[in-house]
Amino acid sequence: MEVRIERRRDERLVGAVFKGRVTRVLPGIEAAFVDIGLERDAFLYAGDIQDHLQGVEEAELEQEVEEGVLNRPIDQLINEGQEVLVQVVKEPLPNKGARITTFITLPGRYLVLLPASTDLGISRRIEEAEERERLDELLTAIRPGEQGLIVRTVAEGIEAEALESDLERLTQQWGEIDERSRQVSAPALLHHDLELPMRAVRDFFDDRFEILWLSGAEIYEQVLDYLKEVAPDLVDKVQLHIPEGTLFERFGVESELERALGNRVWLPSGGYLVVSPTEALVAIDVNTGRYVGAADLKETALKTNLEATREIARQLRLRDLGGIVVADFIDMEDPDHQNQVMTALETELANDRARIRIGGLSDFGLVQITRKRSRSDLVSKLTRPCPTCRGLGRVKSEITVLLELRRKVLERIAELGGRPLQLRVRPEVSASLEAEQRAILVELEERLGTRIRVESDPGLRAEEYEILGG
């Protein structure tokens, strides 16, 4: 259902707290660039800046809120050269710096500490009114002064002692960050989140899981020590994988990852999805494929679309796709069928940990989904752009390569001076020159006044060729 991959050479930055220095303030786009010590300056939106950074009077803020006009220009919130405490909320991409915020959050097992906020909140996934009321009372009782707190989903049913212990760890952590920030100059890293295995245990592992497999004695002991402290009832669910092949091989994870890199995903009844990430959005096309089992076309479309809703939700999580997603469902004329599909899609996407918004079904069968993106997707993590097609997903046809080669040879007529010429090309291009496109070879020999030898080389890339001679 989900995959998280981190390589030690590619340090994860989301959640890291930095002391940075503002390098540029851009009122035109209501944003600023902040040097936090990375290759590219980080990007800070006006909406992610606390008003108190610029010393705005509390009474003035309260008056603006009452009047409904709280929308201060960025140059009234922050200045060039100013040092600010920020947290990374989105990883840097190849052509973009990290996105940051001044609203820092420190996640624990059961709580999230908001050092610079007074908000109190409870996870929306805790739905029972009685439990929400109980947790709200606990929050009010334990809140640390003027700091805010959010109760995480895993805290449902947890007693006050566990929340208090979690809060104690978080306030100590914040105290260390705050102290370090006073001792160093910007840019400086102040705090780094846990590494992936421990973070996964903290954020995901609860009593819904039957077992947690770990590979490696060191991380096994770390997880046991952590759970003994915060969730002792889960300790018995932790198992150490004894090497007989890798953990991923044992459970077929490698083959699942391989399938996740493809663009076609088959549905149970024979239909399929085509997943096509682009620069601007992710397009997902739903097709009936081999499925012809329903009584009529309407039922075929409905069944395929309903199966697609579950797989779309799974693929978004599995591939960690973010930004704008457009799903192209098979056309449905029946309003009841349309409602069934939209209800099913909303139900499936409700299980996603990422923040999601769903638009309505358009007249053309399109549904727009936005999914919060904070890191690179799975395909970007596991692959690199093709050096031959340069990301197009297609390469030049044999005839296109031949016409390009012809033009290059003719440009070198004077340089070649009638001397013998050798062309090194891929086998399929060579076969074309010897058969249906032989006229190109004949023309070149006549214009050059010499014989041309064609060498077939399967080691060349799809669009590659060499002109030797002269």
- Dump pLDDT digits (tens) for 275-309: 988 878 999 999 987 766 656 788 888 999 999 99
d(CA 28, CA 52): 22
Q: Are strands 452-456 and 421-425 parallel, antiparallel or unpaired?
A: parallel
Beta bridge partners of 275: 284
Q: Are strands 323-328 and 282-287 parallel, antiparallel or unpaired?
A: parallel
Q: Give the chain's radius of gyration (CA, Å).
A: 30
> What pLDDT does 295 receive?
62
Would you call the peptide bond into 427 cis, given omega within 30 degrees of 0 as the criterion?
Answer: no
Of 371 and 57, more confident: 371
| Domains of the chain: residue spans and CATH | 17-191 (2.40.50.140), 196-251 (no CATH), 257-382 (no CATH), 398-469 (3.40.1260.20)
* 240 phi and psi angles, rounded to 5 deg: -90, 130
**Among 127-136, 231-240, 354-363, 390-399, the least confident range:** 390-399
Asked if the model's pLDDT at residue 418 lies above 80, the reply is no
d(CA 225, CA 216): 15
> What pLDDT does 234 receive?
94
| Burial (Cβ within 10 Å: 0-12, 13-18, ≥19) of residue 20 | buried
d(CA 48, CA 53): 11
Q: Which residues contact 358 (CB under 8 A, 6 or more apart)?
A: 342, 345, 346, 349, 367, 368, 369
d(CA 304, CA 397): 35
283: left (phi over 0), alpha (psi -120 to 50) or beta: beta
d(CA 284, CA 325): 7
In the chain, the percentage of residues whose pLDDT exceeds 70 is 94
Asked if the model's pLDDT at residue 399 lies above 80, the reply is yes
> What pLDDT does 351 receive?
84
d(CA 169, CA 182): 21
pLDDT digits (tens, 9 = 90+) for 169-206: 999 999 999 999 999 999 999 999 988 899 999 998 98
d(CA 165, CA 262): 45
> What pLDDT does 66 receive?
45
Asked if the model's pLDDT at residue 245 lies above 80, the reply is no
Please give the structure tokens belonging to residue 48.
């992610």
Q: Estimate to the nearest angstrom the gap between the alpha carbon of 8 and the chain centroid.
A: 18
Asked if the model's pLDDT at residue 385 lies above 90, the reply is no
Span 366-395, average pLDDT: 82
Average pLDDT, the chain: 87
Q: Around Cβ 325, how many Cβ atoms within 10 Å?
A: 22
Q: By the 8 A CB rule, do 155 and 111 touch?
A: yes
Asked if the model's pLDDT at residue 469 lies above 80, the reply is no
* 367 phi and psi angles, rounded to 5 deg: -125, 125
> What pLDDT does 52 receive?
57
DSSP 233: G
**Among 1-15, 29-43, 422-436, the least confident range:** 1-15
Count CA within 13 A, CB hemisphere, residue 337.
17
pLDDT digits (tens, 9 = 90+) for 46-94: 989 987 555 444 444 444 444 444 467 888 889 999 999 999 999 887 7
Span 11-40, average pLDDT: 92
Q: Residue 359, SS3?
A: strand
Asked if the model's pLDDT at residue 344 lies above 70, the reply is yes
In the chain, the percentage of residues whose pLDDT exceeds 90 is 46
